[in-house]
Amino acid sequence: MTFPVIDGGRLLARLDAFAAIGGTPAGGVNRPALSVEDRAARALLAGLGAARGFSVFQDAAANLFLRRAGADNDRPPFLIGSHLDSQPTGGRFDGALGTLAALEVLETLEDNGIVTAGPIELVAWTNEEGSRFSPGAFGSQVHATGAFPSGWQDTLDGNGIRLADELAATLAALPEAIERPLGRPVTGYIELHIEQGPLLERQGALIGVVEGIQGTRWLEVTIAGQVAHAGTTPLAARRDAMAVAAAIIARLQATVMPADADARLTVGRLTLAPGAVNVIPGEVTFSIDLRHPNGDQIDRLETEVAALATEIASSGGCRVSIRRSMDVAPARFDDRLIDIVQGAAEKRAFPSRRMFSGAFHDALFMARLGPAAMIFVPCRDGLSHNETEFVEPHQVIAGAQVLCDATLEAMRVFQSR
C-alpha cells in the first residue's frame, strides 16, 4: 500500500482561515460552543467537504460528519477528527488542528484516488471545551452513549441562554447537512491534538503516541471546627478549621506527588466561614482534584487522603467529611491502534514517545465505543487554553502526516476482513 504525502501548505492555510473565525486581537480564538462563530466554522467546514464530494451529516447533538465513501459503504465508518469550539481566550490549534488535519487526510486520499475498504468520516464534536455549557465533551458523550445526559435541557450559559435553544439554532443553521441518528457503530477512532503540556517539547519528540487518558476524581473536603474569638481563645481551646485544612493540604502536597510521578493532586478551591479577620474559622471546605492513569491508584490515593485528613483533623479538634463530586475512570486506548500510530511515526522517522494524556478529550468517550487512539504534537512552552498557544508548522504537518498514515494502516488492519 502507498502512503501519500499530505499537502502541508493547504493545511496551514486552513488553520489560518479557521483561526480568523472568532479570532482575537492577541492572535487567539474566542469560538464558544454553539455560538454564531461556532456555526460559521461548521458552515465553512461543511462547505469545504461538500466541494470535494464528501457527504455532510449532523446528529441531534450537532456533531458534524464529513463522509468519504469507501468500496463497501455498509461497513461502519472509521472516524478521525476533534472539535471546533474554543475556550473564551483559547488558542488556534486546540481542536482545530485535529479537525482540519482530518479534512486534510480526506482530501489527500481524494487527490491520490485512494479507495479504502469502507468509509472514513471526519467528525467535529460539539462542545468539547465545556466553558460555555458544562460539562464538556458533550457531543462525543452523546454519541458514545446514544443518549443526552439527564437534565441537559435546563443547562444555561453565563448569560442565561439555554443549551437546547442554541443547539436547535446551530442545527438549523446547516440545513444542507443530512440528519443522522445518534450513536452509530464505528470501526475505530483516531484524534490528533496538541499535547497541552510540556513533555514532548522538553524531550525533543515530535509525536506523542498516546496510550490513554488519566482518570480524574474530585473530592470535596469539609473541616468542621468551632467559631471563636481570635483574641481571647488560647491555643489549647482552639478548634481552628483553617489551621487543620492548611496542615492537611501541606501534608498532601509533601507526600502524594513526590511519592508517585504519575499522580496529580491539586487543591484549586477553598472557602471558609464565617470569613472574618478576627474570628477563628468554624468551617472550611476545599476541593481536591486527583488524577492518575491507573484507576486502582486513584482509589488508593483517595484512601490516603481520607486517612491523613481524619488524623490531622482529630488532632486539631475538628471533624472531617469527604464527598466525591466527580469521578471519571481512566481510558485505555486500543493496543493495535497505539502500535499503528507508533509505527506510522517511526516510518517517517519522527521522534516519538509514548505517554498518557493529562487532559480530557473526546477520545475518552470514543474509547468506550470502539478501538480509539490519539496522536499528540508539541505546543510551545506546553501552553494551551491561551491565546499565545503555538505549534510550529513542521509539527502541524508531522502530526497530520501521522494521522493520514495511521488512518490508512488502521483501515487495512480493521476493515480488510
Interface ranges with Zn ion (CB under 5 A) = 94-95
Residue whose grid cell is 442565561? 160
Closer CB to Zn ion, 93 or 286, in the complex: 93
Q: State which amino acid sits at residue 119.
A: P
Closer CB to Zn ion, 85 or 283, in the complex: 85
CB 270 → Zn ion: shortest distance, Å?
28
CB 95 → Zn ion: shortest distance, Å?
4
Calpha distance 190→27 (Å, rounded): 28
Closer CB to Zn ion, 94 or 283, in the complex: 94
CB 33 → Zn ion: shortest distance, Å?
12
Closer CB to Zn ion, 84 or 244, in the complex: 84
CB 291 → Zn ion: shortest distance, Å?
17
CB 208 → Zn ion: shortest distance, Å?
14
Q: State which amino acid sits at residue 155.
A: T
Percentages helix, strand, coil for the chain (3-state, rounded to 5) are 35, 25, 40
Q: State which amino acid sits at residue 222.
A: T
Closer CB to Zn ion, 84 or 280, in the complex: 84
Going by C-alpha positions, the residue among 99, 122, 108, 100 that lies closest to residue 14 is 100
Closer CB to Zn ion, 121 or 362, in the complex: 362
CB 196 → Zn ion: shortest distance, Å?
7
Q: Which three cell numbers stand for residue 322?
A: 469527604
CB 378 → Zn ion: shortest distance, Å?
15
Burial 138-170 (b: 16+ CB within 10 A, else e): bbbbbbbeeebeeebeebebeeebebeebbeeb
Cβ atoms 179, 55 nearer than 8 A: no
Kindly report the backbone phi and psi dihedral angles of residue 191, in degrees, each rounded to the nearest multiple of 5, phi listed first. -125, 125
Going by C-alpha positions, the residue among 204, 194, 109 that lies closest to residue 374 is 194
Task: Identify any residues that bridge with 377 across adjacent strands, giving them in sequence order.
Answer: 194
Q: Which is it for strands 64-68 and 319-328: parallel, antiparallel or unpaired?
A: unpaired
CB 170 → Zn ion: shortest distance, Å?
18
Closer CB to Zn ion, 97 or 340, in the complex: 97
Closer CB to Zn ion, 116 or 357, in the complex: 357
Going by C-alpha positions, the residue among 70, 72, 52 that lies closest to residue 115 is 70
**Axis-axis angle for helices 295-315, 241-259 (nearest 10):** 150
